[in-house]
A and B are shown apart, each in its own frame.
Chain A
């Protein structure tokens, strides 16, 4: 990449990916809600309803608990900022994202963890019991999901000899036999369970519950209003879209832009949108037929994901 032209091209690609995730995230949530409604036998809100909700929220008043510190206001900002950064540097629409050489899978996981921790701290800053409850449950689930996640990353990195995410996608594109391998499926299965846990979908958490005592993620945001709530909702939907985007590109990278150029980028974005929508529909259908697990059954689910990942890692080692 040479000089100013390269920098501008990189900024454009970053901007395109960020825009796709920022607009596509709420649309993805809308699609998933629509699918659930249709299976339940009703029409449901239109697909762009979450975008309307966000537009309205940004014009409302901000509110703050009287004894909260600055952490309360910073939490949602960090959540969205981490999602924006990851959207810019991940291999979503192209295998050469800007700063792609720094897009290490491990780094991406920990940047997203920074967002979760910021929200958990802000929830404790509200001074309400709900904030503490949501924060406690969310950190417990995060702690138990991390072993599965990191060992799944290990399992996928072993055959490719690198944990750099664009490199993983490129290698998958060039050698399809690496994708059609048992360790990749096991690792991605484990990754899918972790995505459900981290983004608060069934069977881990019901995103549309009204019962505070059953909430995990929702309990952390009961105190936010207006733009802060808009940022939280945007951040959560961006994270879901991001994680699903990474999952589909590791599972089926075809369509992603492999060479520079606007046409390839547009095709890549289209392929990303199509694949993520399919993944969203599958997850939403699964959610309709699943009940929420009791909080103390979740360690069993996450331990199962961990076992999947470990078996994947050992398979990767054995098949050489």
Chain B
């Protein structure tokens, strides 16, 4: 039965794509969604079986792909990622049912989305290099098609798709080199054979493979400085696709790093993991800072994805570092915390992107400076976004808090150590964790407060009304997962422990004991999320009762009066007098001015009659991505220059072309001989 589930997943996914392509407009989305759900459920069942029993699922076929064959191996580590992808996909496709009337119902899109989902479900189950690369490429191409859906309406979409295409393929080629190098040395392209052979590899090959894999998979995960495609592509994609990309696809970048670093190469020297941790720290801080100062709702969420993936990388780096310095028990806890952060991120980021999509549909804008007052006009979407925002800010009693607590504990308990690398990395990691936590809280107070609360700042926001039921449900499903994972994280922790045991050699069987409380085995660290939640609820009810009692005893004619807000006696109070997202972030922008380097443009035009009188002052400020500006644009400029020069090689003369052919032939003969 268990091997069958992967087959069913593939077949259901393919049927969904065919249905989306072939059926007429009225039914194609519903059919595609139905088949995709079939694929997700099959994958879920199979992975849950793998996680429950701890035995991997193996599937071999040499007939589907010529030359290389298809090998699928689903072990507990991969199963965790499949479960996460499946749940995010179910919620996103449910959302798609309601969203379809807003432009995601073309044949291409209806075929691409199921293919995207299916390939993401099968990537963690790939067991050989060829299978992995085929599925990876399929995932990249289908997501590219989805990003391009809106390209006729918006010009930024085309540019975003170009960046995405180039960077994802550059990453794919790095992954290709790494995996092919490993399989060439092992003589066989299955992961099992590579793992066995890995101990015999020379250090240079191991280091190169790991670094290439870090670059390729890190780019997919959104690690700074390879993240520049993320804030462009994720906002431009339609919302179900954005939710899938941020909630499921970036996780596969993390899966890839753990796959190559821990599973295939079996761990490595401390400097590998210090590099991973350093990349994580920089990503977390950079992403959080840009999220805190961004005024575009979806761009804010995209940078926040880079931030969260940075935290996951800190966990993975800490895990590898502790394993390399001889503490496998703490390494296992750190890996569990990294996986828990990944799972949590999928839940809250998926929910946030879907709600942001609802906001965009209802108001026509994703610019926070034009939103406001949506909590009263879109109550369900508002509450869902609130839950997602509080979860991502790591506030109890939601899931983000449990993940960050676990990461902090693993860093703290990894400290009794003689290694200076660890002694420096841990306080830096904790400081990064803290600063990103604070910046994320500021970013999401801004997003929720400016976007949903107060008074509407534009016509679109004032006339917004709630979106269709399926869209609300899709986002609410993931928000519900945030609450459940926050109060009872024990339902996922045994599975994550099993997955971590795969990744960290020498780990004890149970590093966490989780019943009502979460206990670290052999260490002093306890958390009782359910008790905290119950205590908060009890205190909340008690305080509200106290307030009501006070009101009842006050004998006032009107106990609660609605009035216009106090504006110092001003006669005119408009919605434009409220703080906007730009003004909210302005203190942070001033503090971090050197890192952000905003563009400021001040244009003063004077009256014709006299220069002493100004007619108009226009002030524009925007925060671009420093890395894109200072690293990528010069590189693109250099490539352009080189390209211009190379055009000189093609001057149209047939003689020259024949000469090229002759020279290359001579060189090849010389090399072979």
Contact = CB atoms under 8 A, between A and B. Distances in A.
Taking the complex as a whole, does A directly touch B, i.e. does some CB pair lie under 8 Å apart?
yes
Interface of A: 58-71, 77-78, 80-82, 84-85, 88-89, 99, 101-102, 104, 106-107, 110-111, 113-114, 117, 120-121, 123-129, 131-133, 135-137, 139-140, 142-147, 149-151, 154, 157-158, 161-164, 167, 212, 222-223, 227-228, 230-231, 295-296, 299, 306, 310, 313-314, 317, 320
Contacts of A131: 454, 579
A147 B591 CA distance: 15
A310 B395 CA distance: 24
Contacts of B568: 212
Contacts of A145: 438
Interface in B424-440: 426-427, 430-431, 433-435, 437-439
Interface of A, helix, strand, loop or mixed by DSSP: helix
- Report, nearest first, the 7 A-B pairs whose CB atoms are least far apart: A132-B579, A143-B438, A124-B449, A162-B524, A150-B434, A146-B438, A81-B539
A63 B535 contact: no
Contacts of A101: 517, 526, 528
B524 A126 contact: no
B554 A111 contact: no
A306 B428 CA distance: 12
Given A132-B578, A146-B435, A154-B412, 12 more contacts: A59-B554, A61-B559, A64-B561, A65-B565, A78-B540, A85-B535, A99-B531, A102-B526, A124-B448, A158-B412, A161-B416, A223-B565
Contact of A143 (B408, B435, B583): B435
A121 B524 contact: no
Contact of B562 (A66, A140, A143): A66
Nearest to B535: A85
A89 B527 CA distance: 13
Contact of B434 (A126, A149, A228): A149
Interface stretch (B25-33, B209-217, B542-550): B542-550
B494 interface: no
A222 B528 CA distance: 37
B442 interface: yes
B413 A126 contact: no
Contacts, number: 267
A81 B579 CA distance: 28
B74 to A, nearest CB: 35
B8 interface: no
Contacts of B579: 124, 129, 131-133, 135-136
B556 A314 contact: no
Interface string B365-399: 00000000101100000100010001001111000
B578 A127 contact: yes
Contact of B587 (A85, A107, A140, A149): A140
Given A81-B540, A113-B441, A117-B393, A64 B563 contact: yes
Contact of A132 (B527, B543, B583, B591): B583
B441 A143 contact: yes
Contact of B454 (A88, A127, A147): A127
Contacts of A231: 543, 547
A149 B404 CA distance: 15
A110 B390 CA distance: 11
A67 B372 CA distance: 11
Given A81-B539, A121-B445, A111 B532 contact: yes
Nearest to B518: A102
B423 interface: yes
B438 A107 contact: no
6 contacts: A61-B558, A67-B373, A123-B449, A127-B453, A128-B578, A146-B438
B376 A69 contact: yes
A295 B416 CA distance: 39
Interface of B: 292, 373, 375-376, 382, 386, 390, 393-396, 401, 404-405, 408-409, 411-413, 415-416, 423, 426-427, 430-431, 433-435, 437-439, 441-442, 445-446, 448-450, 452-455, 517, 523-528, 531-532, 535-536, 539-540, 542-544, 547, 550-551, 553-554, 556, 558-568, 573, 575, 577-579, 583-588, 590-591
Contact of B442 (A104, A140, A157): A140
Nearest to B576: A129
A96 to B, nearest CB: 14
B408 A150 contact: yes
A94 B411 CA distance: 29
B566 A223 contact: yes
A163 B14 CA distance: 51
B282 to A, nearest CB: 15
| A69, A145, A158: residue with the most chain B Cβ atoms closer than 10 Å | A69
A35 B449 CA distance: 38
A66 B564 contact: yes
A197 B611 CA distance: 47
A113 B401 CA distance: 11
Contacts of B560: 61-64
Nearest to A104: B527
A69 B431 CA distance: 36
Given A104-B526, A144-B591, A222-B566, A58 B550 contact: yes
B578 A129 contact: yes
Given A64-B561, A121-B445, A126-B454, A310 B413 contact: no
Contacts of B409: 106, 163
Contacts of B540: 77-78, 81
Contact of A84 (B517, B542, B563, B586): B542
Contacts of B526: 101-102, 104, 164
A227 B390 contact: no
A319 B433 CA distance: 25
A117 B543 contact: no
A150 B517 CA distance: 23
A210 to B, nearest CB: 12
A75 B416 CA distance: 41
Given A64-B563, A67-B455, A151 B405 contact: no
Contact of B431 (A107, A136, A150, A162): A150
A124 B451 CA distance: 10
Contacts of A143: 292, 435, 438-439, 441-442, 588
B556 A154 contact: no
A136 B588 CA distance: 9
A310 B558 CA distance: 54
B344 to A, nearest CB: 14
A248 to B, nearest CB: 23
B584 A147 contact: no
Nearest to B539: A81
Given A121-B449, A154-B412, A313-B427, A62 B551 contact: yes
B434 A81 contact: no
Contact of B394 (A85, A110, A230): A110
B412 A127 contact: no
A126 B375 CA distance: 13
Given A81-B539, A143-B435, A227-B547, A117 B453 contact: no
B543 A84 contact: yes
A117 B427 contact: no
A142 B441 contact: yes
Contacts of B524: 161-162, 164, 167
